[in-house]
C-alpha cells in the first residue's frame, strides 16, 4: 500500500514538473542593456546549469549604449547618465565591481534661439534664487512631484523581488501606481497644467528636458515627460570607463553563448511547442531550435530588426515608429559669441533649448569615460538634432572643428498620448522586452522590462503560478 502511494505521488510530481526534467534552450535576441540583463536574470533564476542561453547580436554588445573615440579617448555616444534611485543600475555597479565616473562642476542654460531665458550661476544659492524668481512656487512643486513619482516607481523593485510579473505594460505600471496608467493617456503639457504647474515651467524646464532626452515636444504622454524631468535631477552619474561596460559584463556573468548573427525568421513548431530561429552571419545561414525566445530589440516597421514571425496562429503588429535623433560629436571650439557670451569663461557647459524649430535640441560639453577631475576641461561637445547638421550650421556653432563624428539613429519611440496595448507576451514562451519602451525609454526601464520577462519565462516554464508564489512567501514568513 505504501509503495503504491509513493508511486502515485512520484507520478504526480513528474507530471507537475515535467518541464523541470528538461533543461530549456533559450534564445535572447538583442545585445543591449535589455537583452544582457535578461540573460543575467535568467541565469539567476534557472541557476548555473538550469538553462542553455544563446544571445544573438549582429553588432557590438551594448546596443544604444555606445562610445566613440576622439583624440585617443572614448566618449559616451548613447545613454550617458543614470539616476541615483535607479536601483538595478546601482546594484549592477556593485555586483560588477565598477565605480562611478568622477565629474567636474558645470553650468547649464535654457536657450530660446535668441537669448538665454535662464542660466545657472557658479554659486548654488544664487541659482536657487534665480529659479525661484523665474518659476516661483512651481519649482518646489515640481521637485516634490518628481520625488513622489520616484517613490511610486520604486514599488516595482519590491514586487519583482517577490517574483511578481506582468503580462502587459499597463499592468506593470498600474502595480506601481494607477496614476501612471492615466499619465500614458494625457500629454505632458496638458497633464502638468492640470496638476497646477505654470505655463512657463512647462514651456521651459519641462520642454528643455524633453528636447534633450527624447528630441520631442510636450505633446508626448505625461509619464515619459515625468521620467524626462527626473532625468534632469541632481546626483546623476555614469560608469567609469563607459556605461557600455555594464551590458558587456552582464553577458559574461550570464554564461550565455554570444552568437554574432542577425535573426531573420522565428518559426513556431506547434507539434513540438518550440521555435526554429533562422539567422544570418555574413554569407552564412544557420537554424537552431529553442524552447523559449526573448526579443530584446525594437520591432516597429521603421527599425532595423526586420524579424519575420512564421506559422503563428495570429500575426503580430507593432504600431508606432522610433524617433530619429542625430548625435554629432565635435572636437573643437564652441562659438560662444553665437550664443551671446563675450568669452569662454562666461559661457555655460550645457545648452538646452526651449523652442521647437531650432537647428539643434541641445549642446553639451563631454568628458571622456575615464575622466578624472585633475584633467581640466575638454573641448569635446555633443550636439543632438533632428537631422544631420550642414557644414554651414556646424560652422555657426563651432569656431574650430578638429574632428566630427555623426551617428544618425532611431534612439527611442516617437511618443504620443493615444491608447496603446503593449504586451510582454507575444505567444506562449515568446516574450518582448521592448514593449516597456512605450512607457519610457531609459536604461533602468529596459532592465525593469528584462526582469519582468525573465520572471515570466521562468514561471511559465516551471509552472509556478502567482498563487503558488504567494503561498510560498507566506510559508517562508
pLDDT digits (tens, 9 = 90+) for 280-339: 988 889 999 999 999 999 999 888 778 999 999 999 999 999 999 999 999 999 999 999
pLDDT over threshold 60, residue 356: yes
User: What mean pLDDT comes out for the span 19-29?
Assistant: 85
Whole-number Å distance between alpha carbons of 238 and 75: 11
SS3 of 431, please? strand
Query: Per-residue confidence at 5, pLDDT binned at 50, 70, 90?
Result: very low
Query: Per-residue confidence at 465, pLDDT binned at 50, 70, 90?
Result: low
Whole-number Å distance between alpha carbons of 12 and 226: 50
Query: Per-residue confidence at 235, pLDDT binned at 50, 70, 90?
Result: confident
**Which residue intervals of 271-416 are DSSP H helices?**
391-397
Q: Per the structure block, which three cell numbers stand in for 131?
A: 529659479
| 70-84: pLDDT as tens digits | 999 999 987 788 999
Cell numbers 506562449 label which residue?
428
**Pairing relation of β-strands 425-427 and 67-70?**
unpaired
SS3 of 345, please? coil
| 99-156: pLDDT as tens digits | 999 888 889 999 999 999 999 999 999 999 999 999 999 999 999 999 999 999 999 9
Predicted local distance difference test score (pLDDT) of residue 476:
39
**Which residue intervals of 332-439 are DSSP H helices?**
391-397
SS3 of 395, please? helix
pLDDT over threshold 70, residue 379: yes
pLDDT over threshold 70, residue 10: no
Q: Per the structure block, which three cell numbers stand in for 332?
A: 573643437
Q: How many residues does the chain have?
A: 477
**Which residue intervals of 154-261 are DSSP H helices?**
155-161, 169-176, 178-183, 188-194, 199-201, 207-213, 222-230, 245-254
User: What mean pLDDT comes out for the span 376-405?
Assistant: 94
Query: Per-residue confidence at 233, pLDDT binned at 50, 70, 90?
Result: confident
Do residues 268 and 116 touch, judged by C-beta distance below 8 A? no
Predicted local distance difference test score (pLDDT) of residue 165:
97
Q: Per the structure block, which three cell numbers stand in for 43?
A: 541565469
Query: Per-residue confidence at 174, pLDDT binned at 50, 70, 90?
Result: very high
Predicted local distance difference test score (pLDDT) of residue 475:
40
DSSP class per residue in 444-463: HHHHHHHHHHHHHHHHHHHT
Do residues 210 and 216 touch, judged by C-beta distance below 8 A? yes
Which residues are within 8 A (CB) of 318 and not within 5 positions of it... i.e. 6 or more apart? 298, 299, 300, 301
Cell numbers 521555435 label which residue?
275
Predicted local distance difference test score (pLDDT) of residue 11:
43
Which residues are within 8 A (CB) of 65 and not within 5 positions of it... i.e. 6 or more apart? 32, 33, 78, 79, 242, 243, 244, 246, 247, 443
User: What mean pLDDT comes out for the span 8-33?
Assistant: 70
Predicted local distance difference test score (pLDDT) of residue 200:
96
The domain locations on the chain are 23-63+244-320+420-472, 152-161+176-236
| 421-458: pLDDT as tens digits | 999 999 999 999 999 999 999 999 999 999 999 999 99
Predicted local distance difference test score (pLDDT) of residue 1:
47
Predicted local distance difference test score (pLDDT) of residue 7:
44
Phi (first) and psi of residue 115, to 5 degrees: -155, 170
Do residues 362 and 351 touch, judged by C-beta distance below 8 A? yes
User: What mean pLDDT comes out for the span 185-198?
Assistant: 96
- Region label for 306, one of left (φ > 0), alpha (ψ between -120 and 50) or beta (otherwise): left
SS3 of 145, please? helix
User: What mean pLDDT comes out for the span 171-176?
Assistant: 98
Predicted local distance difference test score (pLDDT) of residue 21:
63
Phi (first) and psi of residue 121, to 5 degrees: -100, 165
The overall average pLDDT reported for the chain is: 91
Whole-number Å distance between alpha carbons of 220 and 202: 12
User: What mean pLDDT comes out for the span 357-364?
Assistant: 95
User: What mean pLDDT comes out for the span 190-216?
Assistant: 96
Return the CATH number of the domain spanning residue range 23-63+244-320+420-472: 3.50.50.60
State what percent of residues in the chain have pLDDT above 70.
93
Amino acid at each position: 500500500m505504501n509503495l503504491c502511494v509513493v508511486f502515485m505521488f512520484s507520478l504526480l510530481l513528474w507530471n507537475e514538473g515535467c518541464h523541470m526534467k528538461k533543461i530549456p534552450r533559450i534564445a535572447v535576441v538583442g545585445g543591449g542593456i535589455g537583452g544582457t540583463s535578461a540573460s543575467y536574470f535568467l541565469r539567476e533564476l534557472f541557476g548555473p546549469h538550469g538553462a542553455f542561453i544563446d544571445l544573438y547580436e549582429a553588432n557590438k554588445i551594448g546596443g544604444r549604449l555606445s562610445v566613440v573615440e576622439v583624440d585617443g579617448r572614448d566618449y559616451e555616444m548613447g545613454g550617458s547618465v543614470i539616476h541615483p534611485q535607479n536601483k538595478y543600475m546601482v546594484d549592477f555597479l556593485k555586483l560588477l565591481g565598477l565605480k562611478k565616473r568622477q565629474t567636474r562642476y558645470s553650468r547649464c542654460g535654457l536657450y530660446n534661439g535668441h537669448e538665454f531665458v535662464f542660466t545657472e550661476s557658479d554659486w548654488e544659492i544664487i541659482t536657487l534664487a534665480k529659479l525661484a524668481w523665474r518659476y516661483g512656487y512651481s519649482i518646489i512643486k515640481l521637485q516634490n512631484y518628481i520625488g513622489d513619482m520616484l517613490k511610486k516607481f520604486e514599488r516595482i523593485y519590491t514586487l519583482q523581488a517577490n517574483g511578481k510579473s506582468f503580462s502587459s505594460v499597463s499592468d506593470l505600471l498600474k502595480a506601481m501606481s494607477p496614476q501612471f496608467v492615466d499619465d500614458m493617456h494625457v500629454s505632458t503639457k496638458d497633464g502638468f497644467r492640470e496638476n497646477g504647474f505654470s505655463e512657463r515651467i512647462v514651456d521651459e524646464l519641462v520642454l528643455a528636458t524633453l528636447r534633450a532626452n527624447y528630441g520631442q515636444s510636450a505633446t508626448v504622454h505625461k509619464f515619459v515627460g515625468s521620467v524626462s524631468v527626473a532625468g534632469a535631477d541632481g546626483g546623476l552619474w555614469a560608469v567609469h570607463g563607459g556605461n557600455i561596460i555594464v551590458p558587456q559584463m552582464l553577458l559574461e556573468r550570464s554564461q550565455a553563448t554570444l552568437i554574432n548573427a542577425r535573426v531573420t525568421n522565428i518559426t513556431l513548431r506547434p507539434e513540438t511547442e518550440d521555435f526554429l530561429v533562422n539567422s544570418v552571419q555574413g554569407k552564412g545561414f544557420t537554424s537552431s531550435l529553442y524552447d523559449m525566445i526573448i526579443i530584446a530589440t525594437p520591432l516597429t516597421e521603421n527599425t532595423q530588426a526586420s524579424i519575420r514571425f512564421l506559422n503563428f496562429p495570429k500575426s503580430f503588429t507593432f504600431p508606432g515608429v522610433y524617433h530619429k535623433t542625430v548625435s554629432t560629436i565635435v572636437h573643437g571650439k564652441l562659438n560662444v559669441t553665437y550664443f551671446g557670451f563675450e568669452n569662454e569663461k562666461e559661457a555655460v557647459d550645457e545648452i538646452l533649448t526651449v523652442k521647437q524649430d531650432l537647428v539643434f535640441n541641445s549642446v553639451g560639453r563631454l568628458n571622456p569615460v575615464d575622466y578624472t577631475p585633475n584633467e581640466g576641461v575638454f573641448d569635446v561637445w555633443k550636439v543632438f538634432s533632428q537631422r544631420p547638421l550642414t557644414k554651414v550650421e556646424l560652422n555657426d556653432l563651432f569656431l574650430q572643428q578638429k574632428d566630427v563624428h555623426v551617428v544618425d539613429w532611431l534612439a527611442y519611440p516617437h511618443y504620443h498620448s493615444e491608447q496603446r496595448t503593449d504586451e510582454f507576451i507575444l505567444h506562449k514562451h515568446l516574450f518582448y522586452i521592448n514593449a516597456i519602451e512605450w512607457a519610457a525609454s531609459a536604461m533602468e526601464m529596459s532592465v525593469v522590462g528584462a526582469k519582468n520577462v525573465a520572471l515570466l519565462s521562468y514561471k511559465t516554464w516551471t509552472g509556478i503560478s502567482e498563487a503558488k508564489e504567494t503561498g510560498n512567501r507566506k510559508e517562508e514568513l
